[in-house]
Amino acid sequence: MSERKFSMNQGAYLGFILVGVALLEYIIGIIDIEKPVLVWLINTGIIIMFLWYATQRYRDDINDGFLSYAQSLKIGVSIVVFASFIFGIWKVLLINFIMPDYPEIFIQSQEERMIEMEEMYPNLMDGFVDLDWEKIEEEAYKSFRPHTIMINEIISKAIGGFMISLIISFFTKRVDKNIIT
């Protein structure tokens, strides 16, 4: 099996696992707006465990027990990028069809956080001109367009997958000492 086919298959599995967990979070009532750290920790934990498993599986089952640092990094990032396409589709469906009030909830929560920050630190906003909430809302709504959601998911997961794969690759690499390079 080629690296690409393996990465695509494992990326699909990871993507569907992330969608399943996100669906479970939605059913339970955990929204990433209200508890972003919890959702991030859950997703990152799943990605770490899955990449560890998939990289070791590729090394041991497909690549005869050997894997270079670069191969491991490439496989990890590829898996996460393929998974991000599937998860991005879920996010578009969630925001535009399943939970169409998501943008309003997000904007309202951001306004509440800004007010709390101003109450906690009264001099923080002194140097700023009064915020134009309508303009802020307009810009926020632009970030909930389907193509913007997909691009954000792919970029953020690719960067996160790269950072995670950098670490995992250090532990999963195994070089054949009989090969002279």
CB atoms near residue 84 (< 10 Å): 25
CA dist 33 and 94 (Å) reads 13
CA dist 140 and 106 (Å) reads 9
CA dist 78 and 126 (Å) reads 46
Residues across the chain = 181
At residue 128, the pLDDT reads: 56
User: Six-digit token pair at 169?
Assistant: 């690759």
At residue 132, the pLDDT reads: 67
Q: Are 89 and 83 in contact (CB under 8 A)?
A: no
2, burial (CB in 10 Å: exposed 0-12, middle 13-18, buried 19+)? exposed
CA dist 52 and 76 (Å) reads 9
Q: Which of 1, 155, 160 is nearest to 76 (CA)?
A: 160
Identity of the amino acid at 57: R
Q: Which of 104, 97, 61, 88 is nearest to 147 (CA)?
A: 88
Angle of CA points 63, 69, 73, to nearest 5°: 90
pLDDT digit string (tens) for the chain, length 181 residues: 788 999 999 999 999 999 999 999 999 988 777 788 899 999 999 999 999 999 999 999 998 889 999 999 999 999 999 999 999 999 999 999 999 898 888 888 888 887 787 788 777 666 555 566 777 778 878 888 899 999 999 999 999 999 999 999 999 988 877 776 5
Show me where the domains of the chain are located: 3-172
At residue 22, the pLDDT reads: 94
CA dist 113 and 108 (Å) reads 9
pTM assigned to the model: 0.86
Q: Which of 17, 26, 6 is nearest to 49 (CA)?
A: 17
